[in-house]
Structure 1
Amino acid sequence: MKLISISSGKVLPLFGNHHPNYKSVVSAIHKKSISNLQNPIAIEINTLGVKGDEQADLSVHGGIEKAIYVYPSEHYEFWNALLTRETKKPTSLEYGAIGENFTIEGLLETDVFVGDKLLIGELEFLVVKLREPCFKFNAALGYKGASKAMLQSGFSGWYLRVLKTGVLTAGAKITLVPGPRNTSIAQQNKNLLNSRNQKDLWE
């Protein structure tokens, strides 16, 4: 299990006809890899996440409880295949394209529970909750069904609180320290799928 990319983004206009009430909104969902296995630069991680990273809407992203968004690299194959099929354009997303700060390998939503700790390098993080997709995710990927696909696939990723700050570099080893193990991220996703209006995800 290891960290293979650290990504950061700035708040920018996000265009698209992916919501009936918004023709353009601002978002920092477009993240770019700033430390990866090919270019392992040391990046400062503070209590609010990756230094220099921004969030447009702090009610749903960012802050202490959602400081870092983690996404398994294993899911990129799914998105590339889906978008290639649905948009009729060959797609090869770069790490950070899902909006994540940390792209990892070796841990999936079924493996991770709310309250688990992740030790990454010398730093320490707490698993808080899954990521809930919205219309901005649809706009970012250029596909109106992206949010629905994330929810139905269970490929949501999850948020971390930073317990121990410091410096991280891509390639750092990840160790999972189990918490109470009551609710996995996969189970959270299933609960959300059962309760959420699917129609909303298309808008």
Structure 2
Amino acid sequence: MPSVLAVCVVRALHPDSGRAGVTAIDKGPVDGPVKVGDYGLYADVQVDRKHHGGLDKAIYVYAQEDIDFWESELGREIPFGFFGENLRTEGIDVNAARVGEQWRIGHDVIGEVTSPRIPCQTFARWMGDDSDGWVKRFAQERRPGPYLRVVKRGPVAAGDAISVLRVPDDAPTICSLAR
């Protein structure tokens, strides 16, 4: 059964040489349930909501299976939240999800897949690579993870089950959009 391994929110804002001057990419796991509202998880922050938040990018999801790939590639452990994800999942191919697909997360929350993550220079700097190298590498692997918009609010917690409620047959997948 697909499930949530960790629910992550911002731990601290960090100075960043990007346009905003700070970044909220530093996310970490929390204990217990977290309320989910229209703009995402309570106690979370997105500095640049045009690119990393807002109603259509309220929750960023990344799969442990893709983290396992990156840990092997990079030769290091990637802790929960390190890629800026709000939910770390297992047992669901998040990159095969179709735009418009709806997931029930826990008992109440319903999220709808909207778009893939587009890697940015903030992410590259966070990974220790100020060049375009990390952005290109991450994009080429086609493991971007999806953003969700919130259809129904409620709490989420580590251990919550994820069930797919609806899959539009004719919609593109996250992976195909990431090309």
TM-score (norm 2): 0.89
- Whether the 8 Å CA contact 1:5–1:103 is kept in 2: the answer is yes
Per the TM alignment, residue 44 of structure 1 is displaced from its structure 2 partner at its CA by 1.1
Whether the aligned pair in 2 keeps the contact of 1:11 and 1:55 (CA below 8 Å) is no
Q: Which residue of 1 aligns with 2:4?
A: 3
1:47 aligns with 2:35: no
Q: How much is the aligned-residue C-alpha RMSD, in angstroms?
A: 1.8
Conserved? CA contact 1:109–1:184, under 8 Å: no
2:60 corresponds to 1:69: yes
CA distance in 1, matches of 2:144, 2:88: 12
Match of 2:160?
A: 172
Q: Which has the larger radius of gyration?
A: 1
Maintained 8 Å contact 2:95/2:145: no
CA–CA distance in structure 2, aligned partners of residues 172 and 141 of structure 1: 29
The match for 1:27 is 23
Residue 148 of structure 2: aligned partner = 160
| Structure 1 runs (4+) greater than 4 angstroms displaced | none
Tell me the equivalent position of 2:178: 189
Tell me how far apart the structure 2 counterparts of residues 108 and 149 of structure 1 sit (CA, whole Å): 20
Superposed displacement of residue 14, structure 1: 2.8
Pairs aligned (count): 173
Question: Which ranges of structure 1 fall in alignment gaps of 5 or more residues?
Answer: 16-21, 36-40, 85-90, 191-203
Per the alignment, residue 18 of structure 1 pairs with: none
- Structure 1 residues 61 and 23: alpha-carbon distance in aligned structure 2, compared to 1, 3 A threshold: closer
In structure 2, do the counterparts of structure 1 residues 28 and 179 end up closer, same or farther at CA, with 3 Å as the change threshold? same
Which consecutive residues of structure 2, in runs of 5 or more, have no partner in the other structure? none
Cα deviations by residue, 1:37-85 (Å, 9 ceiling, x for unpaired): xxxx11111111110101111110111111000001111122223333x
Contact 1:4 1:171 in 2 (8 A): yes
Determine what percentage of the aligned residue pairs are the same residue.
31
Q: Distance in 2 between matches of 1:64 and 1:33?
A: 22
Q: 1:179 Cα deviation (Å)?
A: 3.0
Amino acid at match of 2:173: S
Residue of structure 2 equivalent to 1:141: 127
Cα distance in structure 2, aligned partners of 1:180 and 1:119: 15
SS state at 2:55 partner: coil
Counterpart in the other structure of 2:98? 113
- Per-residue deviation, 1:23: 9.9
